[in-house]
Every structure is written in C-alpha cells, then in structure tokens.
A = this chain, B = another copy of it.
Amino acid sequence: MSPIDPFAATADFEHALRSDIPLARAMQLRVHDYDGDRLGLTAPLAPNINDKGCAFGGSLVSLLTLAGWGLIVLKLRALGRDCDVYVQDSQVRYLAPVWTDFVAHAHLAEGETWESFIAMLDTRGRARLQVACRVTLEAGDDACTLQARFVAIART
C-alpha cells in the first residue's frame, strides 16, 4: 500500500463531489481541513440561505452528512479498501441560526475506532460506523449537530 498525499486526496475528493453531485456544486462546497481523523467541509452563506436569510436547514444537513461520509471514504481510500459507503440513519438538532459562511466538521463518534471498523470490514465484507458532525458558531457553540450511522460494503 503506497502512502497517499492527504492534500491530493482531499483535492480529488472535492473535485469528485462537485462533479458528481449537482447539489454540492450548487452549495459551492469545498474541503476546509483534513487530518485523517477529522474532516471539515465548508460552504458560503449566499447560495445556502433560507427565507429568513440565515443558513437553510437542508444545506446544513447536506454538508454535515457529506462531512461524515467523506471522513469514511477518505480513510478507506488511504487504507486501500475499495468500498461503497452509504448513510443509514441520522439524528439532527438545529440549535441556533447560522448567519455566516459555515464549516461542518466530522469525527468518529465516542466508542468507535478505525481499527475495529476495518477489522469488521475485512472479516465480513461490510461494517457500520457512527460519526459525529457539527457546525459551530464563531463563538464556538454548536449551531447544528448530526449523529449518523454509515455502512461500508466492500466491492467484489
């Protein structure tokens, strides 16, 4: 397994998202940061407003869900596993309106590890993983949180 350049991997990921998902393009989604354990996606406010002029709930959930999905997709690629990744369910809490450009960060939920996820995937050909995602206000408080369960299925 050859080492993967994280910058090139996230640039490819961003390009693919915007090419393959028209709504990601309409949202003007970009990768904000990635360190292997945390992925941040960002979007400007203007194309993502609602009728009140703050961030549309559908844009928040889309960015949060894509951050969780991307966290798993990028890790599987870095580890050389060829999988499809699907979201299965999620719980969303809208806590405060967002009046600025925003970033959705995703990391593994408490109690989850990459090691157990990959071990299950290699044994069974499929594995589930819970991811915690949030958009925070500039002061650091949560504006919107999403906890989602994904499944990865090895391509045969």
Residues of A at under 8 Å CB distance from B?
A: 16-17, 20-24, 26-27, 46-52, 56-59, 61-63, 65-66, 84, 86-94
Contacts and interface: CB of A to CB of B under 8 A. Distances in A.
A50 B20 contact: yes
Contacts of A17: 51
**In the complex this chain forms, how many copies of it are found?**
2
Q: Chain B CB within 10 Å — which of A22, A23, A89, A93 has the most?
A: A23
12 contacts: A20-B49, A20-B51, A21-B49, A21-B56, A22-B48, A23-B27, A23-B47, A23-B48, A24-B56, A61-B65, A89-B92, A89-B93
B94 A89 contact: yes
A24 B48 CA distance: 10
Contacts of A84: 52
A24 to B, nearest CB: 8
Nearest to A59: B23
Q: Chain B CB within 10 Å — which of A27, A58, A89, A91 has the most?
A: A58
Contact of A26 (B22, B87, B88, B90): B22
Contact of A92 (B26, B50, B90): B90
A43 to B, nearest CB: 10
A93 to B, nearest CB: 5
A148 to B, nearest CB: 8
A80 B46 CA distance: 31
B26 A23 contact: yes
Given A58-B62, A61-B65, A16 B51 contact: yes
